[in-house]
Amino acid sequence: MSAETILKISDLDISFRTNAGVVHAIRGVDMDLQKGETVAVVGESGSGKSVTMKAVMGLLDSNAVVNSGEILYRRPGDEDAQMIDLLKIGKKQLRQDINGQHIAMVFQDPMTSLDPTMPIGRQIMEGILLHKNVSQSEARRRALELLELVGINDAEKRFKNYPHQLSGGMRQRVVIAIALSADPDILICDEPTTALDVTIQAKILELIKSIQEKMKLSVIYITHDLGVVAKVADYVNVMYAGRIVEVGNVNEIFYEPCHPYTWGLLSAMPDINTDDDRLYSIPGSPPNLLHEPVGDAFADRNPFAMAIDKKAAPPMFKISETHFAATWLLHPDAPKVELPEELRHRIERARKEAEQYL
């Protein structure tokens, strides 16, 4: 573990008590975040990507039970200090010392994540007043600065506006301003562009990227949109059924994917250069985690599944220093499986395209 690691999730295991029974949503997740880098967590709905991040923020629903694991956080510039286990320090301390001022979050739906009865300026000031020892007027000045930073024109006028007076894109900018209000080190973005229309999406992503550089933030993106991942991420975690099935840097995931699930995700991206007139989709649906999957949770949907996939869950196989995947196909005894042809062509095209820009 490098000294630059500021967030380390290890062996996280979470289940939810529901009326139907216990849902084992997170089944041993490991994840590292280095200072200043951007990590994307990719997966289908229900794969556990949001739950993992909610655990980091202490926002899990009351029926969630953390069975095991740790979420270690280290204040930047404090390399000798012990890492703090966010799961152990208790909610009150988490809110006082961590949320907002060290780890902040941007939510998916800007239409509902602002308080409808409070002017937006006030909502930004709240975060500043909560964590910084400053006067009202100083907080107001900083809030105006933040509004300008996130690209809201005539901030002075907008300051008194209520959320319903702003468009979706503007509201998401305000939510980002709120997240940045107490100078966090880590910004968690939970599908920040899903609820926005496409033209605004790109702008918001650029905004987050530029702020990340300015404020030296480490960013975690939760998304199911691989297009977003390609634009912003340094590292990618592919999650499936409460587990990380493949992790690597962005080139490894896009050009040398090893897990059949990642192949499926990549094939399912719309592509205008294909001759195929059908959009691929991964057959079947994710397993219901009310029943503990036996073997590899992806086996039923995996055209390359082997006998062992039905019996035992695969461990993480190392492909390179940064690239790991949990599939039995990487076992030395496994038969050699080629990438699906259509995907291979697509990757080749993408590589060529990328080379043009180099």
Partner 1 sequence: MVKYVFKRVGMAALTLLIIVFLLFWLVRVMPGNPFPSERMSDVQIAAKRAELGLDDPILVQFRNYVAKLLKGDFGNGTSLYYGVPIKTVLRTAVSNSFRIGGFAILLGTAVGLLLGITAALNRGRFLDGFCTVFSIIGVCVPSYVFLIFLQYTFSFKIPFFPYFFDADRFAFSSVMPALSLSLFTMSTIARFTRNEMVEVFDSDYVRLAEAKGMYGGKLVRAHVLRNALIPIVTVLAPLVVDLLTGALVVEKIYGINGIGKLMVDAITGEGIDYNYVLALGILYSTLYIAVMLLVDLLYGVLDPRIRVAAKEED
Q: Which of 29, 55, 114, 146 binds partner 1 (CB under 8 A)?
A: 114
In this structure, what token pair is assigned to residue 238? Answer: 């592919």
DSSP 291: S
**64 touches partner 1 by CB under 8 A:** no
Taking contact as CB under 8 A, which single stretch among the options 2-10, 157-165, 203-211, 309-317 is the one that binds partner 1? 157-165
Cβ 82 to partner 1 shortest distance, Å:
22
Whether 131 contacts 182, CB under 8 Å: yes
CA distance linking residue 159 with residue 154, whole number of Å: 9
**131 touches partner 1 by CB under 8 A:** yes
CA distance linking residue 16 with residue 64, whole number of Å: 4
**104 touches partner 1 by CB under 8 A:** yes
Taking contact as CB under 8 A, which single stretch among the options 104-112, 197-205, 288-296, 349-357 is the one that binds partner 1? 104-112
Taking contact as CB under 8 A, which single stretch among the options 32-40, 144-152, 174-182, 199-207 is the one that binds partner 1? 174-182
Cβ 295 to partner 1 shortest distance, Å:
36
Pick 154 or 321: Cβ nearer partner 1: 154
CA distance linking residue 265 with residue 44, whole number of Å: 9
**157 touches partner 1 by CB under 8 A:** no
Residue entry with tokens 């996939």: 309
What are the angstrom distances between the C-alpha of 42 and each of 36, 50, 144, 188, 253? 19, 10, 34, 13, 11
Q: Which of 2, 19, 62, 82 binds partner 1 (CB under 8 A)?
A: 62
Task: Please name the residues in contact with 269: beta carbons below 8 A apart, sequence gap of 6 or more.
Answer: 226, 227
CA distance linking residue 254 with residue 304, whole number of Å: 20
Whether 215 contacts 158, CB under 8 Å: no
**175 touches partner 1 by CB under 8 A:** yes
Write out the residues near partner 1 by the rule CB under 8 A: 57-59, 62, 91-92, 95-96, 98-101, 104-105, 107, 109, 112-119, 126-127, 130-131, 162, 164-165, 175, 178-179, 181-182
